[in-house]
Structure 1
Amino acid sequence: MKSLKKTRRIQIIAVAAVALALSTALIGYAMRDGINFFRSPSQVVETPPEPTEVFRIGGLVEPGSIVRGQSDTVIFRVTDGPASVEVHFRGILPDLFSENEGMVGTGRLVDGVFVASEILAKHDETYMPREVMEALKEQGEWRGPDPQAEPQT
């Protein structure tokens, strides 16, 4: 009788392990298109991604680079200091989108131009997306307060 219980436990553990592995694989397969990696303009210039890869780019909108066309297409450059990438976006930009302000865009790199499907801008005077802030700090271009610093009263 003890041998039968032991065999049954091993079978249950094996079935549970297979079910866990299968569910993990299915979740990974389902999320493959939903994962967008963040890149700074310097990283995009150094190692351009494949044209089919969707990713996020972030930095500061380069001053004097915003060109609004006759239609709803906007062309501008995003920079992290040492490098900048031209961005084409068709749609309505956020109200807080402006020159020399932080932005994050989602899209693809096509022939050296980032074609954005979505543009996000900071939502108040002090907010900067973490990825953009870290990329700007790496390039020595960060001009804002240190978020780890103690608030001054």
Structure 2
Amino acid sequence: MFNFLRFTEWPAQRLASPDAALTLCVWAGSAQLADALRNLAGRTVDRHVLSVSDIDRIDDLQQCHALFVPEAAQRKVPAGLLRRAEAQDILTVGDADGFTASGGMIGLVPEGARLRFELNEKAVKRSALKLSAQLYKLGRMAQESASP
């Protein structure tokens, strides 16, 4: 997750000042996973100190720069959450099967004993986010379904 943040560029209006905090939000789900992501708090991403917040309401998105949706929470995600995040230039990452097909930007997918990632280029392009060419090189492209 940390490297996804490192290789993402947000538009200037999303990170108003060079020392603004970068907030990773975790949609209510797996407490264990949220705890692991909270260990990233305090690290620095391009001079921005990383903070981690749990959210469970779509209105809480405004504080987020990135949103992780754990597989355990996938069924509790409100309709339109991913599109709303995309419209607010929030990087969306998830580990549920079909996450990118349903409109997420980066999906973690098991491949044998390894964990790989796939990118939904359409979702990224609909936002003002810029992902590093290195992410495109290392990830695989995903197909988005017609009705996310």
TM-score normalised by length of structure 1: 0.23
Which of these two proteins has the greater Rg computed from alpha carbons? 1
Q: Which has the higher contact order (CA 8 A, sep 6+)?
A: 2
